[in-house]
Structure 1
Amino acid sequence: MNWRDYQARQRVVELGHRFISYVDEGRGAPLVLLHGIPTWGFLWSGLLSALSMTHRVLIPDLLGYGYSDRRDDFDRSIARQAEALDAWMDRLGVMDATVVGHDIGGGVAQHLAVRFPRRVSRLCLMNSICFDSWPIELMMQLGHPGVARRLSARAVQRALRMALKRTGFATAPPDGVLDGLLAPYATEVGKTSLVRNAAALNTNQTQELVPRLGHMAVPTRVVWGVDDVFQPVKWGERLAWEIPGAKLVRVANAKHFVMWDQPHAVMTALFEFLEREERPRLEGGLDVPSVQGPLI
């Protein structure tokens, strides 16, 4: 699936004066997949078909990312993203879900599990930010306000492509994947929004969760590409140690984008986790009016 086909599957739901674009496919227990920076929901496109055979798969673009609201008038921090997703799930009638978070999406997932525990029936953290493991130097540079003024969208795209291709993947990514991951940020509007997203990265917002990780009661799986240079595996080991009952699955020959480097291993780990008995849930299912396809 190319990124344009993926975008055409997106729906839009309004949350007050903001909106979230998302994919909603399949039937069964809800499964929410959260992307990181500098990506969007397309990150999960390679797993969508298989996962939607057994689950209702919900993939939002975080606020300011992808094709969600990119206006310049809201807080993009991971704490506010969690609040927005709580409202989004409520709007869709999803009482709770298995939540899988990659990169900063993992930080958002941690906030959901700690602050909105009713929303998270199971938690999977995949090469996730945590503790004071972030922001990485690349994102700190991207988040400087001067970047939006000095560099064109094309220049930012070129720098990100080079960095992600060189250090984000264990092998060359499949054709079109890197273009797809960065597609929403190819315009000046997209570039400026991405810079704002990077400026909002704040290690304090995972550090504040540390005292509460040991009290989490949600079943947790930590899946990690062991060759990641952005979020080294030592952070996954610490997460698995801090969260009660968490199990760490190390994925060999995989870097940060583990779901593209080793999709079979990731699917195996996810299905093994998902097939385990879940805690009792209330089934949700309100039909929400939505707009099909891109908003722009």
Structure 2
Amino acid sequence: MNWRDYQARQRVVELGHRFISYVDEGQGEPMVLLHGIPTWGFLWSGLLPALSLTHRVLIPDLLGYGFSDRREGFDRSIARQAEAMDAWLERLGVRNAVVVGHDIGGGVAQHLSVRFPQRVSRLCLMNSICFDSWPIEMMVQLGHPRVARRLSAQVVHRALRMALKRTGFATAPPDGVLEGLLEPYATEVGKTSLVRNAAALDTNQTQELAAKLAHVAVPTRLVWGVDDTFQPVKWGERLAWEIPGAKLVRVAHARHYVMWDQPHAVMTALYDFLGMEMRPVLEGAEQRDGEVPFIPGPLI
């Protein structure tokens, strides 16, 4: 699906003076998918059709991102995002969920696991920030106040597109994906909000969790594109060491956006983590709808 089709599926819920846009599809055990910077919920659009066959899939745009509230005057840190996710799940009546986080979404997921453990039934981190692995230089530069003042949305959008295309993907993503991932930030309002998001990146907010990860008591799976230069796999190895019982799945021929470089491998890892087999799921979709959700590669 393109980004417009995905956005058309979004709903909106108010949280105090702010609001969150999100997708809510499928039935079954809830699964929350958290994006990173500089993306939004569309990041997960390639996996949504298959995952929603077996789970209630909930994909929020974090505060300040995508089509959630992008106004001025609020805290956009990962600690605050975790509090917002807790309040959002409470508003939806979701007691707990499988939580999957990518990039800073992985940092939010770690905060949820440590500070709101009742919300997390299982934890999956994909090429996640952790410890002092972040922010990367590109995001440090993006978060400087002069970017919002001096650079147009067009200039920032073009620079981000070039950077992600060059280093974020191991192979060219499907047509429209890269453009869709950055679309909410193509306007002046979107650019300013993204700069504020980058300025809120604070490595102290994962460092403070370091000693607490040993107390994460839910099943944990780490899925990592091994060619990632933004969050190298050594950080996944450290997380696997620190979180009790965590298993690291290394995904070859994948960079930061592992779910687009190797969607079949990611789906296989997720279904294995959930104790499910992928073939019956996809065969069931074929019998019901006449087509299988888009997952490149041979079926397992």
- Could you tell me the TM-score, scaled by structure 1's length? 0.93
Q: CA deviation at 1:157?
A: 0.5
Superposed, 1:42-53 pairs within 5 Å as 42-53=42-53
2:275 matched residue in structure 1? 275
Runs of 4+ aligned structure 1 residues displaced above 3 Å come to none
Superposed, 1:98-113 pairs within 5 Å as 98-113=98-113
2:295 matched residue in structure 1? none
1:233 matched residue in structure 2? 233
Aligned partner of residue 133 in structure 1, secondary structure: coil
Q: Are 2:80 and 1:64 aligned?
A: no
CA–CA distance in structure 1, aligned partners of residues 275 and 55 of structure 2: 11
Superposed, 1:2-21 pairs within 5 Å as 2-21=2-21
Q: 1:6 corresponds to which letter in structure 2? A: Y
The superposition leaves residues 40-69 of structure 1 with CA deviations (integer Å, 9 ceiling, x where unpaired) of 000000000000000000000000000000
CA–CA distance in structure 2, aligned partners of residues 38 and 174 of structure 1: 18
Q: CA deviation at 1:275?
A: 2.2
CA–CA distance in structure 2, aligned partners of residues 179 and 215 of structure 1: 40
1:254 matched residue in structure 2? 254
The superposition leaves residues 267-294 of structure 1 with CA deviations (integer Å, 9 ceiling, x where unpaired) of 0000111127xxxxxxxxxxxxxxxxxx
1:31 matched residue in structure 2? 31
The superposition leaves residues 50-106 of structure 1 with CA deviations (integer Å, 9 ceiling, x where unpaired) of 000000000000000000000011000000000000000000000000000000000
CA–CA distance in structure 2, aligned partners of residues 11 and 215 of structure 1: 34
Aligned partner of residue 268 in structure 1, secondary structure: helix
CA–CA distance in structure 2, aligned partners of residues 167 and 59 of structure 1: 25
Aligned partner of residue 66 in structure 1, secondary structure: coil
CA–CA distance in structure 2, aligned partners of residues 90 and 189 of structure 1: 29
1:242 matched residue in structure 2? 242
Aligned partner of residue 6 in structure 1, secondary structure: helix
Q: 1:210 corresponds to which letter in structure 2? A: A
CA–CA distance in structure 1, aligned partners of residues 274 and 52 of structure 2: 13
CA–CA distance in structure 1, aligned partners of residues 152 and 274 of structure 2: 43
1:199 matched residue in structure 2? 199
Q: 2:131 corresponds to which letter in structure 1? A: F
2:82 matched residue in structure 1? 82
CA–CA distance in structure 2, aligned partners of residues 108 and 204 of structure 1: 13
CA–CA distance in structure 2, aligned partners of residues 177 and 215 of structure 1: 37
Identity value in percent: 86
Aligned partner of residue 31 in structure 2, secondary structure: strand
Q: RMSD of aligned C-alpha atoms?
A: 0.5
Aligned partner of residue 83 in structure 2, secondary structure: helix
CA–CA distance in structure 2, aligned partners of residues 264 and 228 of structure 1: 18
CA–CA distance in structure 2, aligned partners of residues 93 and 273 of structure 1: 25
1:218 matched residue in structure 2? 218
Q: 2:56 corresponds to which letter in structure 1? A: R
CA–CA distance in structure 2, aligned partners of residues 45 and 124 of structure 1: 17
CA–CA distance in structure 1, aligned partners of residues 246 and 131 of structure 2: 16
Q: CA deviation at 1:173?
A: 1.2
Q: 1:192 corresponds to which letter in structure 2? A: T
The superposition leaves residues 198-229 of structure 1 with CA deviations (integer Å, 9 ceiling, x where unpaired) of 00000000000001001110110000000000
Q: Identify unmatched segments of 5+ residues in structure 1.
A: 277-296
Q: CA deviation at 1:265?
A: 0.1
CA–CA distance in structure 1, aligned partners of residues 170 and 99 of structure 2: 25
Q: 2:167 corresponds to which letter in structure 1? A: T
Q: Are 2:147 and 1:147 aligned?
A: yes
Q: How many residues align?
A: 276
2:189 matched residue in structure 1? 189
Q: 1:244 corresponds to which letter in structure 2? A: P
The superposition leaves residues 221-278 of structure 1 with CA deviations (integer Å, 9 ceiling, x where unpaired) of 00000000000000000000100000000000000000000000000000111127xx
Q: Are 2:154 and 1:159 aligned?
A: no
Q: CA deviation at 1:172?
A: 1.0
Q: 1:119 corresponds to which letter in structure 2? A: R
- Could you tell me the TM-score, scaled by structure 2's length? 0.92
